[in-house]
Each structure stands twice: as C-alpha cells, then as structure tokens.
Amino acid sequence: MQNFDYLTPTRLIFGKGVIKNLPEVMAPLGQKILLTYGGGSIKKIGLYDKVKELLKDFEIYELPGIQPNPKYDPSVLDGVKICKEKQIDVILAVGGGSVLDCSKAIAAGAKYAGDPWDLITYKVKAKAALPIVDVLTLAATGSEYDSGGVISRTETNDKIGYIDPLLYPVCSLLDPTYTFTVSKKQTAAGCADAMNHIIEQYFCADSTLLNDGFMEAGLKSLMVNARKCLENPEDYTARAEMMLTCTYGCNRIYSLGNSPSGWPCHGMEHALSAYYDITHGEGLAIITPRWMKHILSEKTVDRFVKYGVNVFGIDPALDKFAIADKAIEATYKFFESIGIPMHLREVGIDESRIHEMAHHVAANEGLDKAWAPLLEEDIAAIFTASL
C-alpha cells in the first residue's frame, strides 16, 4: 500500500429537488456569478429558468455554448475575459463534465494575469482560482468531485488534463432527475467513461481487498444501472446510483493507497478526441478492450483474472489466460450491448493519422511509465486494432 495525501473539499448535495439549496450555497461566495453552460439542453428541461429564478437577487453574467471536449479558444478565453471585466466572484457551471472542465480552466485563468495556457500546461503554477459551484446534468466524468479538467486546443491537436487542488468545486448539486432526458448515446458514453475511470485505477501493480471490492462494485453498478437507464430513462433509482458511481470516478476514493497506473486509455483517447472531436466515452469504450488485449501477459494476467471472476462472474476454475480472454470479450460485449459503436471507423476515424496520433501520445502522455508500459508502436498497434 502506497502513502497518500487526500482531501476533497467539495460538498455533495445529492437527490431530488436539491436545486432549492442553490441560493444558500452561492450566498457566501459572492454576488457576481458567471453562469456557464452548453448547447441549451438546460433551457429545454427548465433548469435554466429555475436557476435564474432562484438567483434573482444575484448579478449573473453568462457564458453559453461550451462544447463537448471544451475548447481553449473561444470558451476558456471568453470566460476568463468576462470574469476579469466583470470582476466575477464565483462560477456556476450547469451541465456535464465539459461545462465543468471548461469552468475550472476559467476559474484559474481569471486569477492569473498572463495567458491561461501557461497554467493548463503547468508552465506556471496557479496561485488562486475563483470558487466553482455546479449543477450536474450528466453522469459521466466525475469532474463534479475532482480537481481536474480536460481542455482541447484545436490548432495544435492538444487535449490536456489540467489538475490542481484549487479546482475542486466548492459544492456540487446532484439531482438525478436532471439526467432523465440524457440521450441513449450520451447515457451509454457516460457509463463507458465512468467504467474506464475505474478500470484505469483497477489495473495496477498494488491494490487492496477494500479498493478492489469497491471498484468491482462500481463496475457492476454501472453496468446494471446503465442498462436500466437505457430501458427506462426516468428510472430514478438507476439514474441516482449511476450518478453517484460516476461522481466517485476521478476522486481517488476508489483507489487510495494503490500504486499509480498511468491512466493509459485516457492518454490514448485524448488524441482521438483532440484530432477528431469524437465523444470521449465512446473513444474510451473502443480503446479499452484493445488495450486490454495488447497488455495481457504473464505479468498482468492475474489482475485480469480477478477482474473477470469478480466483475463478470467467470468461472475461477478455468485457465488464467482463458479467464482473461473471456473478461476482455465480456468488456467489449457489454459496451456493444449498450449501443456504443465499437470501431474507430464508425466514429469517423480511419488509419490515415494513426501514426501521427501515436507519436503525439507517446511524446506527451508518459505512457512508457504506465503499469503496463506503452511505447509509440504499442499505441499505434492499439489504435490499429481499434479500427
């Protein structure tokens, strides 16, 4: 078991109707709010109006139109500009992980005199950030309970994970009913994203009975509840459990004390969605089983056996490589069964830029130091197998 230093300062207010707490949460943080959101779904479900009504005594500025795989330019830069011009006190992110991730970069950029890209690339360590509150509308990334965000810069094909303890939200308001209208495609992609968060932490050299059991429960919960959400989008219990299981995803609570894994699938997927702007969860679902197959070896097989037996109920009496193969197959089949396109070609990616992407990942993501190290040729092979 590894040493660790852990603190999550985020308050979770969870359940039906918790939006009513919003004024009480915002009041101590200031009067001037930057309200950030995406393409307008919060207007369709009435959440935008509800927020405006609850916060009628505050001074609200808006940054709408934040896209999936949120962009440095214009979203982050526009947000920082508003914060500086209007002397914003607090950011209220209403949406999913992309809105949150973008808001985190804005929060840090707002308190920095230079180019916010310096912070995102760790050229400069942020000294302060605006407080962030969020109202979540999508169960997926766990950004509502972590200190990171991922920002894309189109012109350089960069998609960078930016992590700093200053970026934990002060409070996340999690009402599962706001996810009732999430499409089947996004529900499935959210499930795949959250499953991959757990898988990234599970496959490592050193874990515990406690963490393994917690993560296995998380994976089983996601599979069972995602299916229920797809069958009945207004199944409150399923939406609620899926939301909480996703919320823990990147918070470290699933794996405190585990040895680092390197998060290889995320490292590879960042290139896919940076170059092709695909849905992050779909990219992860496509890569994950191919990565598993690629790294399966005498050194890694025991983790696959545990995963296969405890998550998928595979017969522990089988040969260990047979269990591993079945576990990888079961992972693939599950993603396929919830409607995820399982080939890169289906999401518009062909072989033309695979080597360019593999080179980019190898140069930037440090996967040569992952639990199962990946060099440029490994990454290219995984991409090719995913076509």
Per CB under 8 A, residues contacting a copy of itself are 1-18, 176, 208-214, 216-218, 220-221, 224-225, 236-237, 240-241, 244-245, 253, 256-257
Q: Which is nearer to a copy of itself, 98 or 147 (CB)?
A: 147
Q: Which is nearer to a copy of itself, 17 or 85 (CB)?
A: 17
- Type of residue numbered 228: K
Q: Which helix (H) or strand (E) holds 364?
A: helix 354-364
Q: How far is the CB of 288 from a copy of itself (least distance, A)?
A: 20
Q: How far is the CB of 307 from a copy of itself (least distance, A)?
A: 14
Q: How far is the CB of 144 from a copy of itself (least distance, A)?
A: 12
Q: Which is nearer to a copy of itself, 39 or 260 (CB)?
A: 260
Q: How far is the CB of 124 from a copy of itself (least distance, A)?
A: 23
Cβ-contact 93, 99 below 8 angstroms:
yes
Cβ-contact 255, 267 below 8 angstroms:
no
Region at 136 (left for phi over 0; alpha for psi -120 to 50; beta for the rest): beta
Q: How far is the CB of 359 from a copy of itself (least distance, A)?
A: 37
Nearest of 284, 290, 271, 267 to residue 340 by alpha carbon: 284
Q: How far is the CB of 179 from a copy of itself (least distance, A)?
A: 13
Q: Which is nearer to a copy of itself, 99 or 238 (CB)?
A: 238
Phi, psi of 312 (to 5 degrees): -110, 0
Pairing of strands 11-14, 158-163: unpaired
Q: Which is nearer to a copy of itself, 36 or 221 (CB)?
A: 221
Distance CA 241, CA 225 (A): 7
Q: Which is nearer to a copy of itself, 12 or 124 (CB)?
A: 12
Q: How far is the CB of 373 from a copy of itself (least distance, A)?
A: 25
Burial class (CB in 10 A: 0-12, 13-18, 19+), 5: exposed
Q: Which is nearer to a copy of itself, 40 or 313 (CB)?
A: 313
Distance CA 200, CA 276 (A): 23
Q: Which is nearer to a copy of itself, 101 or 212 (CB)?
A: 212
Q: Which residue has the tokens 């809105």?
A: 99
- Type of residue numbered 300: T
How many C-beta atoms surround the C-beta of residue 173 within 10 A?
A: 25
Sequence-ordered list of residues with C-beta below 8 angstroms from that of 351, at least 6 positions apart, any chain: 384, 387
Q: How far is the CB of 171 from a copy of itself (least distance, A)?
A: 8
Nearest of 167, 165, 174, 166 to residue 134 by alpha carbon: 174
